[in-house]
Chain A
C-alpha cells in the first residue's frame, strides 16, 4: 500500500503535477450550469509553491480540490488533464483516489475548527492518515507528529497532541492541521485560505511556520488566498484567476512589481493603497457620542470591555481596531444597547443614553444605526428591498405607502442600485449589492451616527473598496459620523481620522490616526501595524527579525495597564 511511484526518488525541480486545460462545470437536474473553471493549465514542480489568487467565485478552491480528485457536490470535471506523477487523476478508480489523498496530496482548509473532530485528541487525528494508509505504525506516527509539532513551533510539542481541538487557540489549530496534512509526507500540500480567519498578528506566525515547513520538507504546495500580500511571502509563482479563467501567470515578483493585465494592476494598486493618512479633523464642537469609562460583561464572566472611553464628533470616522476578543464588537453592542453597560456613561447629543435598549426612546434608537459584517444574515431573506429599506421610514416617520416607496427609490439611487431592485429579495443580489442595501436601510432612519461592524471583511477586495468609497461620499454629502469597527489596519489608515486601539477589553491607544499610527507608537500598535502584510516578497523576513522585541514590549506594557 505504501508503494507510490516516485516517492523514493524525490528530485527537487522534477515536475509532479501537470494540469492542462482543466474545465469544471456545474451540472444540475435541469442540464448544464455555470462553468467554474475554464481552460486552466499549470505545472507544479517539487519544492515549488504556486499561489492561486482571485476573488470569491474565481474558481481557486475548485482547482485546489480537483488536485485531490475531488469536486464539490454537483460539480464535474468535464475536460482537461490532471496528471499526478504521470497518472491522470481523472482516470483513477475510487480506491486509487483514496490512496492519493493524504500520502499524495493533502488539504489544509480555511476553518481548522470545522475540520477537526471535537471528540478526538489532536494526536489521534494527526496520526490517523499515515496509520490508515499503512505508511507508519502508530508509534512511529506519534514520534513523527511530535517532530512536526516542534517544527511548527507549537507549545509543549511532546504533550500538545493530548489536547482536544477546543483546548488550543485558532492559530495553533491551524498549525495542527498543517501537521495533520504533513503527517503522511504528501508530495503536494494544498492550502485553502489557511490564514484568512486568523488575526493579523497570528497570521504572521502561522505564515512563517507554513513557509518553514514547506521549505524544510521540499514539498510542493498550492497556496490559495485572496490576499496578494500574503501569497507574496510564500509563493514562487502566482496565478491570478477571475470567473474561472486564468488572468495572469508569473513569478511572484513579476506579478507584484509589473503586473501586465489590467485586472491584476487594479488588485495590486488597491492593495498597496493603504499608505496615505486621512488627516482632516472634524469640526463639530460637541461630540455626538461620548463613551465614558464604560465597563460591560456577559453574565458574570470577566469584563469584556473595561473602562473604555471614545468620542465621536460630527463628520468623524473613528476606527476601533483590535484583534478578535479585544471587545471591539462588544463596544458596539453596548453603544446600541443590546448589552447594557455596567458602569460608566454613554452621552449622545449631550444626553445620557439609558443602558438598556428597552428604555431608549424611538428617537434615540433612530439616531444610531448599524451596518453589519455579514449582509447575508443582516437582511431578512423573505422580505423585498421595499420592505427592508422602507420599514425604518414607515416606523420612525410614519409616512404613507407612496412616500415610503418614493424614499426607497431615492435611497436605491443613492446606493447606485437600479430602481427595479425594489421588488427583489436579498437572495437575488450579490454580496456587494446586499451590503449596499444594509447601508440604505441604515440611512433610511436618517441617523447621526452609523456603527460599521467589519462592513468590508466579508466582501472581495475590490467590492469592499467600492463600499468604502460610497461610505466616504455619503459622509461628505450628509455629514454623518461613523464608528468603524475593523481589524483591517490598511482600511483604517485611509478612511479614519481618529482611531482607538483595543487590547483585551481595554483601550491602549487613541486619538488622531496620523498620530497614533506614527512613532512613538504604543508597543501593541506597533505590533499590529507591523503584522499587516505588505506587498513585497521580503516583508515576512523583515517582520520576523524585529518581532521578538516588540512582543516583549507589549507584554511589559500590558503589565503596566490598570486593573
Chain B
C-alpha cells in the first residue's frame, strides 16, 4: 500500500488503523454509542439472575451507565482536548522559540527566563494551583495545559532555530530585508519540520496522559462528561470487585499512544529519506 507516494509499513498501518477507529469514535460518538454517556441503563450492583439487568458489550460502570458508550464519548473528549491543546502549545512554542532564536538579544533573554520560571515549577502542581483558583471549565483547562506544554516546545524550537538561523540561506533572507515572519515561516519552519513532527506526536501523547492525570485527580474533565482519565479514576476500585471496567479506558489510552507513535515513526523515516545528503 502506498500513501502520498510513500510505502506504508505494517506498523504504520496498524497505527493508522488505531487512529482512524479512535477518530471515527470521537467524531461520531452520538451516533455510534448505544446510550448517552450520562444515561443510567441498569443497576450495576444488582444480581443478574433476579433483577434482569441488561448487560451490554463491556458491562456497566459503578453507577449503572453503559461502559462502551462512555468509552466512545471519552475518546471524543480525550482526543479532541489533547489535539486542541497540542496545537495551541505548538503555535505558542514555535512562534516564541523561533522569534527568540532569530532576534536573539534581550528578546531571547526575556523569553528564555520566563520559560525557565515556568519550567522551574513541577507542571502538575502548577496546573493544580491554577485550576483550583480559576476553576475547571474546559477553556481554562485547555489554556493552562497548552501554556505549560508550550515551554517544552519553546526549548526545542529555539534550539532547532538557533542552528538553522546560523545557516547562510537564513542570512541571505535577512540581508535581502525579509521580515521576521517570512524568515520564521519560509526559511526556518520547513527545515525544522522533521523533529517538530516527532515532538508533536510525543506531546500529543503527553497532553493526553496529562489530562488523564488531572482528571484522575479530579481537576480535569468534570462529570458527567466522560474522558478516559477520569474513567480510570472512577472505576479504579472496581478492580477489587472482580470487574474489568478500569482496564478498558486504561487500555484505550495505551493503544492510542502507541498508535500515534507508530505513525510518527513512519513519517520521520520518510522525512529523513527524502532529504538525501544534499
Contact = CB atoms under 8 A, between A and B. Distances in A.
A392 B175 CA distance: 11
B175 A336 contact: yes
Contact of A362 (B171, B177, B276): B177
Contacts of A377: 167-169
B190 A395 contact: no
Contact of B191 (A357, A365, A381, A441): A381
B116 interface: no
Contacts of B186: 380, 383
B278 A381 contact: yes
A338 B175 CA distance: 7
Contacts of A378: 168-169, 172
A209 B167 CA distance: 36
A374 B168 contact: yes
Interface residues of B, number: 18
Given A380-B187, A381-B278, A427-B278, A357 B175 contact: yes
Interface string B249-278: 000000000000000000000000001111
Contacts of B169: 377-380
B233 interface: no
Contact of A381 (B171, B172, B177, B275): B275
Given A338-B171, A374-B168, A380-B169, A427 B275 contact: yes
A337 B278 contact: no
Contacts of A427: 275-278
Given A376-B278, A381-B278, A365 B175 contact: yes
Interface in B134-183: 167-169, 171-172, 174-178
Contacts of A383: 186, 190
Interface residues of A, number: 27
A393 to B, nearest CB: 11
Contacts of A338: 171, 174-175
Interface in A341-380: 357, 360, 362, 365-366, 370, 372, 374, 376-380
Contacts of B171: 338
A391 B175 contact: no
Contact of A426 (B172, B174, B176, B278): B278
A357 B174 contact: yes
B175 A337 contact: yes
Contacts of A445: 176
A395 B190 CA distance: 20
B176 A392 contact: yes
B91 to A, nearest CB: 20
A391 B171 CA distance: 14
B177 A365 contact: yes
Given A337-B175, A370-B175, A441-B172, A380 B191 contact: yes
B278 A395 contact: no
A382 interface: yes
A395 B177 contact: yes
16 contacts: A336-B175, A357-B175, A362-B177, A365-B175, A372-B172, A374-B168, A378-B168, A380-B186, A381-B191, A381-B275, A382-B191, A391-B176, A395-B177, A427-B275, A427-B276, A445-B176
Given A338-B174, A365-B175, A370-B175, 17 more contacts: A337-B175, A338-B171, A338-B175, A357-B177, A365-B177, A377-B167, A377-B169, A378-B169, A379-B169, A380-B169, A382-B190, A383-B186, A383-B190, A395-B178, A396-B176, A426-B278, A427-B275
Q: Which 3 A-B pairs have the closest CB atoms?
A: A382-B190, A378-B168, A427-B278
